[in-house]
């Protein structure tokens, strides 16, 4: 076929796309999420397989499959207002994992007690 504007030839045949092999762990984890969601709420969630697949693929680089399954279980049981209002979507799992793995550098309650009650008043260190 020849282009009418610039007279160069077009190739009429396109190369066939070779589908990439998907990691079976991703499908198992998404199905685990769907089953857990269905047990808790009684209906199946809307799942964006492309976005969830890429997200789980990235998480699988740093975590084992059984650890991620445990995170999914605890995510579905969480009572966090933010995640519940968002609908416990699977795409928010990385945020939940990050929130669970971040440990505070100090205990805020102990710090507040020290600020409210100075050590010279409480008799500590005397």
pLDDT digits (tens, 9 = 90+) for 98-121: 887 766 555 555 555 555 555 555
Is the pLDDT score of 36 beyond 60? yes
Return the axis-axis angle of helices 49-60 and 93-101, rounded to nearest 10°.
Answer: 30
| Residue 123 structure tokens | 């008799």
| Residue 51 structure tokens | 């976005």
pTM beyond 0.85: the answer is no
For 75-87, how does the pLDDT look when each residue is reduced to its tens digit (9 = 90+)?
999 888 888 888 8
Sketch the domain layout of the chain as residue ranges: 24-101
Burial of 72 per CB tally in 10 Å (0-12, 13-18, 19+): buried
């Amino acid at each position: 076929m020849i282009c009418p504007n610039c007279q160069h030839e077009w190739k009429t045949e396109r190369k066939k796309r070779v589908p990439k092999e998907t990691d079976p762990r991703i499908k198992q984890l998404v199905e685990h999420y769907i089953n857990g969601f269905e047990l808790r709420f009684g209906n199946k969630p809307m799942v964006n397989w492309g976005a969830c697949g890429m997200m789980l693929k990235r998480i699988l680089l740093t975590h084992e499959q059984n650890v991620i399954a445990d995170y999914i279980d605890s995510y579905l049981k969480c009572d966090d207002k933010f995640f519940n209002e968002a609908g416990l979507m699977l795409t928010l799992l990385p945020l939940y994992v990050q929130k669970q793995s971040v440990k505070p550098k100090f205990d805020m309650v102990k710090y507040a007690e020290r600020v409210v009650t100075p050590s010279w008043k409480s008799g500590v260190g005397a």
